[in-house]
Structure 1
Amino acid sequence: MSHDHADAAHDVLALDGVTVRMDGRAILDAVDLRFARGTLTALVGPNGAGKSTLLAVASGDLVPAAGRVRLSGAELRDWKARPLARERSVLPQDHAVRFGFSVREVVAMGRLPHAPDPETDGRIVDAALVSADVTHLAARDVQTLSGGESSRTAFARVLAQTTPVVFLDEPTAALDLQHQEAVLRIARGLADDGACVIVVLHDLNLAAGYADRIAMLHQGRIAADGTPRDVLTQTTIERVYAQPVLVLEHPTRGVPLVVSDDPRSAS
């Protein structure tokens, strides 16, 4: 596997002209994006904009109809499964486990791509259980968990995988307010420690609070790409989401705060 060291030194992930078609329609249309180490990028956009499809292509779970993806300087298609699993971890939307594993066993699966080291593996799994707030569920059969508990278990597995690139597809969808903030705080910490974190979010305010960068998709294309302040403008949001909004300043975080502005009739 040949690596372009100059590219790998800056952009750990590069998408060039990525196009995905389904039923004759372009779900992604010639998308070009670069992702750097030490950053958290939020992918946002309306339903059907192409966010999860983009994540699937970038992580190697979906082959595009056109374009190329490079991970750490190498063509994604050239990566073997085991090295790829050491390089990037993926939290999909559907993370249900349909076998009777315990929570700890599922989290420990994150260590499978690595050379066995029981002491190190045990320590990493323990830390992941704590971070995801599922230590008290460690012995539970995953099939008995609530949606939120299952989501946090899957997130713990991703943490246990300890990869330099992390893909999270709607990790907060099934979570209560406290755990939404906790997951994004951890993701932010991974980026601060040098990982490249890419997360699909529906909540624009969570994206504003934790992401360095927001890429907003609309009809399979990049509608806006930049800092939260650059992307989350009233004009852009109303154009992409077709929803009236107000964009205020968060009183404590110093980031944009998006509020729906759809007043009811006074009558």
Structure 2
Amino acid sequence: MSSAPDPVHDVLALEGVSVRIDGRAILDAVDLRFARGTLTALVGPNGAGKSTLLAVASGDLAPASGRVRLSGAELGDWKARALARERSVLPQDHAVRFGFSVREVVAMGRLPHPPDPQADARIVDAALADADIVHLEGRDVQTLSGGEASRTAFARVLAQTTPVVFLDEPTAALDLQHQEAVLRIARGLADDGACVVVVLHDLNLAAGHADRIVVLHGGRIAADGSPREVLTQATIERVYAQPVLVLVHPTRGVPLVVSDDPRGAR
């Protein structure tokens, strides 16, 4: 890559980003760029720095050093409302502690945009349908299951209609069907030109939907490339300290990671 960020292609650029907590480096001099029309999965073991990286990239956490550029401008120079039109964020903790209906929560995604009641209603309707929560739209969000609440928060992100989308473990509370559905929608956003960055624990979900996988380990980048380049036995075993087999998915043609028994067959 060139040394200078290209705002046309590199909609998001992190340069020398470090985060330290209690003297420990959570992120250590990370350099990354993210392009429009791509879905990047951030993976790695617990404590690797994935969610911290997402928080820094989205502007929710200021780095101790380094800088972040969004669409060519320093992230700190963005006004809050304009930033909310440029990027949307699904955090890990998306609990709503007030008695809003599901539809009201999803409609909050429209708040950064100039009011347009008809267009807003269409966008909210589409987000409810995409997240498979139309039947829940009148429910108090405080009565939802974990998976239903997660899909409601995801629908709010969809309703925000931003060109950059950050998703922190969007599949964590979901069943198999909805895990695939959320990642297919994220893939569709990228195919339509958005820059999507998603934190995942499931390497096979990452392989099946991402253009690019960034593996974090100890606050640094351990690997960065396509699923085939990154999801190798050597890399996974080095980062996760877990024996694995890496096969080829029979229909998708992408890597398929299977845990191996370190004790051997019995």
Query: Could you tell me the TM-score, scaled by structure 1's length?
Result: 0.97
Aligned AA for 1:30?
A
Residues 5 and 13 in structure 2, CA contact (< 8 A), matched pair in contact too: no
What does residue 215 of structure 1 align with? 214
Please state if 1:171 is matched with 2:181: no
Letter in 2 for 1:229: R
Measured in 1, the distance between the counterparts of 2:212 and 2:158 equals: 22
Percent identical among aligned pairs is 87
Q: Which residue of 2 aligns with 1:121?
A: 120
Q: What amino acid is the match of 2:257? A: V
Residue 10 of structure 1 corresponds to 9
Q: Provide the rounded CA distance (Å) in 1 between the counterparts of 2:58 and 2:265.
A: 49
* CA deviation profile, 1:42-99 (whole Å, cap 9, x unmatched): 0000000000000000000000000000000000000000000000000000000000
- Once the two structures are TM-superposed, the CA of residue 8 in structure 1 deviates from its matched residue by 1.3
How far off is 1:262 after superposition? 1.4
- 2:113 partner letter: H
Hey, what does 2:251 align to over in structure 1?
252
Q: Which runs of 5+ in 1 are unaligned?
A: none
Q: Matches of 1:175 and 1:63 in 2, distance apart?
A: 30
User: 1:100-139 maps to which residues of 2 (within 5 A)?
Assistant: 100-139=99-138
Give how far 1:263 is off. 5.1
Q: Distance in 1 between matches of 2:56 and 2:262?
A: 39
Amino acid of the structure 2 residue aligned with 1:8: P
Q: Distance in 2 between matches of 1:235 and 1:6?
A: 31
Quote the Cα distance in structure 1 between the aligned partners of 2:239 and 2:36. Answer: 28
TM-score (norm 2): 0.97
What do residues 104-145 of structure 1 show as CA deviations (whole Å, max 9, x unaligned)? 000000000000000000000000000000000000000000
Q: Structure 2, unaligned stretches of length 5 or more?
A: none
SS of the residue 1:171 aligns to: coil
Look up the match of 1:86: 85
Deviation at 1:7, TM superposition (A): 1.9
Residue 8 of structure 1 aligns to a residue in which SS? Answer: coil
Runs of 4+ that moved beyond 3 A = 263-267
Please name the residue that 1:203 is paired with: 202
2:22 alignment counterpart: 23
Distance in 2, matches of 1:9 and 1:227, equals 21
Is 1:76 the equivalent of 2:75?
Answer: yes
Instruction: In structure 1, give the amino acid aligned to 2:106.
Output: V
Query: Do the aligned partners of 2:42 and 2:197 also contact (CA within 8 Å) in 1?
Result: yes
Is 2:152 the partner of 1:148?
no
Counterpart code for 1:93: Q
* Residue identity in the other structure for 2:32: L
Q: Does 1:237 align with 2:236?
A: yes
Shift of 1:154: 0.1
Q: What is the aligned-residue RMSD (CA, Å)?
A: 1.2
Shift of 1:244: 0.2
Q: Secondary structure at the match of 2:149?
A: helix
Equivalence for 1:96: 95
Count of residues paired in the alignment: 263
Is the contact made by 2:243 and 2:262 (CA closer than 8 Å) also made in structure 1? no
Q: Which amino acid aligns with 2:39?
A: L
